[in-house]
């Protein structure tokens, strides 16, 4: 995957996470009504805390994707971690649907994340091939030391 498509993918992932996270934080009742067959008690402070933390984390990852779209130095790490996280999110979504708690829309968004996980992995490996680096995240000593060798 070339540089332009990787940047577009990361921009799309940023928008996906930011829109989903902000929308879920603004209107949790709508989120539950559209996505699940049941809703938690609004009086459960601990559950509310974890719900909010989850979506804050999704927003933070959206900002990381946006940053990586414009910063080549952080791109490999964000793509690798994002691929793993998005693949695990799909597994969690599939589990919710199979248990009967998640509606089909949950699986739709989970499949979107799975598609991005596969594209992130492809972008990560193609960038590694282009750079001729033997491993993910490895930085040649010449790049770490700079041009002066210090």
Q: Quick one: pLDDT at residue 144?
A: 45
Helical pair 3-26 and 45-70, crossing angle rounded to 10 deg: 160
Tell whether 139 is covered by a domain.
no
Select from 137, 114, 111, 112 the least CA-distant residue to 124: 137
56 in Cβ contact with 64 (< 8 Å): no
How many independent structural domains does the chain possess? 1
Tokens read off for 131? 């750079």
Q: What's the pTM value of the predicted model, to 2 decimals? A: 0.81
Q: Quick one: pLDDT at residue 109?
A: 96
Tell whether 138 is covered by a domain.
no
- Residue 57: which domain range? 3-38+47-132
Q: What is the mean pLDDT of each run of 10 residues along the chain (150 residues)?
A: 93 97 95 92 90 97 97 93 97 97 96 97 84 56 51
Tell whether 147 is covered by a domain.
no
Tell whether 137 is covered by a domain.
no
Q: Quick one: pLDDT at residue 22?
A: 98
Tell whether 146 is covered by a domain.
no
């Amino acid at each position: 995957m070339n540089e332009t498509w990787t940047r577009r993918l990361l921009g799309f992932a940023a928008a996906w996470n930011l829109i989903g996270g902000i929308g879920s934080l603004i209107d949790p009742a709508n989120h539950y009504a559209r996505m699940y067959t049941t809703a938690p008690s609004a009086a459960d402070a601990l559950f509310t805390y974890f719900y909010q933390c989850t979506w804050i984390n999704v927003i933070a990852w959206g900002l990381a994707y946006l940053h990586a779209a414009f910063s080549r130095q952080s791109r490999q790490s964000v793509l690798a971690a994002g691929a793993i996280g998005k693949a695990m999110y799909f597994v969690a979504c599939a589990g919710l649907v199979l248990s009967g708690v998640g509606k089909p829309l949950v699986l739709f968004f989970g499949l979107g994340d799975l598609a991005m996980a596969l594209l992130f992995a492809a972008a990560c490996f193609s960038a590694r091939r282009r750079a001729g680096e033997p491993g993910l995240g490895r930085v040649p000593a010449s790049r770490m030391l700079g041009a002066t060798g210090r």
